[in-house]
Chains A and B, each alone.
Chain A
Amino acid sequence: MNTTPAGTVFEVFRQERKGQPFQHAGSVLAPDLRFAEIYAREQYGRRQESNALWLVQRDAIDEVSDFPDEFDLKYRRVDGYSIKARLKEARERAGTHES
């Protein structure tokens, strides 16, 4: 489906300003990379709205989208730490607790 008689699908990623992340913008259907570049320039760069574009053949993208968490690994995240009560106790012991 990504390479058809009418060409190959290239995904276009766009960086709006230098230093910003590249974000997916859309795709172009082109016979080859040279044409993909011309189409992408016309579609995503003709008003100086982009600092740079990345063109990637759709088939070259390997998507990973399943992130199971069978072991509830929340100690790796900020929501795994509830320090409010302990902090209060520590402050009270130190006599720095503001009531």
Chain B
Amino acid sequence: MEAEQLDARTAEFLAYVQDGGLVEVHDWMPDEYRARLRKFVEMHANSELMGVLPERDWILRAPTLQRKLALTAKIQDEVGHAQLLYRVVADLGKPRSACFDDLLAGRSKFHNVFHYPTRTWGDVGVIAWLVDAAAIVSQKALLKCSYAPYARIMKKICWEESFHILHGRDVVLALVTGTPAQFELVQEALDRWWAPLMQFHGTPIPADDDPMVRWRIKSQGNEAARQEFLDGYVPQILELGLELHDSKLRKRDDGVWEYTEPDWDELMSVVSGHGPASQERLDFRRRSRAEIEWIGQTVLAEAA
């Protein structure tokens, strides 16, 4: 799609956003922009909502009362993020109930990392630290999104995610300074999560070819996000004496990280609902939606 093929109004809009212009809820926007933005924010919202399920499994099993409370608070934050993001999607023309319909029917997606089981407390620490760290790299780049209502929500989300990373790092530090068995819990969890983490930011399509970057919905390409994650977190992982089992992982003299090519087929398969925990998680959401339907109806009837 070349700029000269666009109608004048769309071309003007594209130039405006590329030049740093911000768009508000009632502003005119091209259909393609609205559709791409809505799909992107909807997947983000779905991911926040589905992302609490791996952690929910551990509320009752968390080792201390303090950890149970912190984990519960994190889960409340993430569900809150989903609510805020579904509001943004609703303003773009798709109500939350329609988003739930599509999510539960498998017609829309959520992030790959939330399709895997949490086997041990070590997984909970690694998720809260490294999955949230990978997410915050992408989310920080969204602070500059051309759609201002989304960017404003991201400010709050990033602020809360910074607590989560610290909570996760604290869980991991407690384990790596504990018994050899506790240390091993973290190492095993890291081994399980490394492949999904390396897939998390997506295939390395060049930013110039990425329509999400062109519309300035995203300000960072996938590979740039992965490089930032590696640069920030590989040293933090290794300094704890943990190992990353990728023989090709190294930082070149020019500052670029090399690594074994992630399994993109696995990524595609997992996000299309074929991950080890995909259907179990969706089943849980289907059950809970049916179980709590009466609450919404009662509340609306009461207010009417």
| Residue positions of A touching B, CB distance < 8 A | 4-7, 9, 24-29, 31-32, 34-35, 39, 42-44, 46, 49, 63
Please report the C-alpha to C-alpha distance between residue A44 and residue B296 in the assembled complex, in whole angstroms.
22
Other-chain residue from B91, B95, B97, B303 in contact with A32 (beta carbon distance below 8 A): B303
A42 to B156, CA, bound (A): 13
Report which of B84, B149, B153, B299 forms a contact with A31, defined as CB distance below 8 A. B299
Interface presence of B90 (CB below 8 A) = yes
Could you jot down 27 A-B contacts, CB within 8 Å?
A6-B296, A6-B300, A7-B300, A7-B303, A9-B91, A24-B152, A25-B156, A26-B84, A26-B87, A26-B149, A26-B153, A27-B91, A28-B87, A31-B299, A31-B300, A31-B302, A31-B303, A31-B304, A34-B303, A35-B299, A39-B83, A42-B80, A43-B80, A43-B84, A44-B156, A46-B76, A49-B159
- Report the Cα distance A29→B304, complex, angstroms: 14
B286 at interface by CB-CB < 8 Å: no
| Residue total for B at the interface (Cβ-Cβ under 8 A) | 22
CB neighbours of B90 from chain A (8 A)? 29
Pairs of residues from A and B, 3 with the lowest C-beta to C-beta distance, nearest first: A31-B303, A32-B303, A31-B300
Tell me whether A43 and B83 are in contact (CB under 8 A). yes
Q: Which residues of A contact B95 (CB under 8 A)?
A: 4, 6
Contact assessment for B300 and A29 in the assembled complex, using a CB-CB cutoff below 8 Å: no
Which A residues lie within 8 Å of B159 (CB)?
49
Question: Which of B26, B76, B87 gathers most chain A CB within 10 Å?
Answer: B87
Chain B, Cβ-Cβ closest to A23: B152
